[in-house]
Amino acid sequence: MNDNYTVTDMLADAIKALIVVGLFAIVLSTSGSFAAVPI
C-alpha cells in the first residue's frame, strides 16, 4: 500500500475520470446526433 496515495488523491482521480467520461459522452452524443437522430 502506498502511503503517499491518500483519500484526496483517490477523489481527485475519480473526479478526473468522471470529467473525461462526461466529455467523451458529450462528444459521442453530439457527433452521433449528426449521424443518426434517435427516435
Report pLDDT digits (tens) over 1-39: 567 789 999 999 999 999 999 998 888 887 766 555 555
For residue 7, give the 3-state DSSP assignment.
helix
Indicate the length of the chain as a whole number. Answer: 39
pLDDT at 28: 81
pTM given for the model: 0.56
Name the helix (H) or strand (E) containing 19.
Answer: helix 7-35
The secondary structure of residue 36, as a DSSP letter, is -
Residue 12, phi then psi, degrees to nearest 5: -65, -45
- Residue 22 backbone phi and psi in degrees, to 5: -65, -45
